[in-house]
Amino acid sequence: MKQHDRITRYSAPERINHWLVAICFVLAALSGLGFFFPSFNWLMGVLGTPQLARILHPFVGVVMFAAFMIMFFRYWRHNLINRDDLEWAKNIHKIAQNQEVGDTGRYNFGQKCVFWAAIVSLLLLLVSGIVIWRPWFAGSFPIPVIRLGLLVHSVSAVVLIVVIMVHIYAALWVKGTITAMVEGWVSASWAKKHHPRWYRAIRAKQTPPPQQDKGP
């Protein structure tokens, strides 16, 4: 593919940030499932021994939250819901048939839902995680609050796992998405098909302004 047919989707720092979140998510999710289900205790091995997993799990979660907050402040404006998103949602049956609907910007309605569901889940995981974090903070809360924190933490973790599974499925389903997050670029035809409004905005920035005649 010729260089001029490529459009930068994500810079190197953006991709590093994304994969840091992804790695932390895998480590936290697997070790968390090991805590929650006795038959999955062996999953705690991703962080070493079960004892080491109990120590490292909350720290991995904090790193994941901090890295995602960098993504949040970078992308939240692109994930605000607008009228085109409602058109996208009304035609979800066409989306399921791999058809594009509406004048989509940098992210479509499905991606925006994943974004906001992830940030809400992570906020709940952070707050509840602090409440149940032994030996640092749990001693400052009464038992009923700790029990509520455990419930919120567990439910939020399940929601986040489901959201990320949807995110992964969509990335694999739409050809070219993985390339964007691994190599940082997409083809012009990909951008024009899946995110036409974003494509036009990128092209407008690349087009030099017309030169004015200076006269005699």
Query: Could you report the per-residue pLDDT of 50-73, keeping only the tens digit for each?
Result: 999 999 999 999 999 999 999 999
Rounded distance between C-alpha atoms, residue 164 and residue 6, angstroms: 27
Query: Average of pLDDT values for 144-161?
Result: 96
Q: Which residues are catalytic?
A: 167
Percentage of the chain lying above the pLDDT 90 cut:
71
pLDDT given for residue 208 in this prediction: 63
pLDDT given for residue 66 in this prediction: 97
User: Is 209 part of any domain?
Assistant: no
> What pTM was computed for the model?
0.89
User: Is 213 part of any domain?
Assistant: no
Mean pLDDT (the chain, rounded): 90
Longest CA–CA span in the chain (Å) reads 85
Q: Range of 176's domain?
A: 3-204
Helical (H) or strand (E) element with 168: helix 143-173
Which residues make Cβ contacts (< 8 Å) with residue 42, sequence separation at least 6?
A: 34
Provide the total of helices (H) and of strands (E) in the chain, helices listed first.
Answer: 9, 2
pLDDT given for residue 93 in this prediction: 81
**Between these two residues, 133 and 93, which has the higher pLDDT value?**
133
Burial of residue 177 (CB within 10 Å: 0-12, 13-18, 19+) is middle
User: Is 120 part of any domain?
Assistant: yes
**How does residue 2 score in pLDDT terms, banded at 50, 70 and 90?**
low
User: Is 150 part of any domain?
Assistant: yes
Query: Average of pLDDT values for 148-168?
Result: 96
Per-residue pLDDT for 215 more than 60?
no
User: Is 214 part of any domain?
Assistant: no
Among 129, 121, 193, which Cα is nearest to 157's?
121
Number of compact structural domains in the chain: 1
Query: Are 174 and 194 a contacting pair, CB within 8 Å?
Result: yes
Q: Where residue 103 sits, what CATH number does that domain have?
A: 1.20.950.20
Q: Which tens digits make up the pLDDT trace of 99-117?
A: 778 889 999 999 999 999 9
User: Is 59 part of any domain?
Assistant: yes
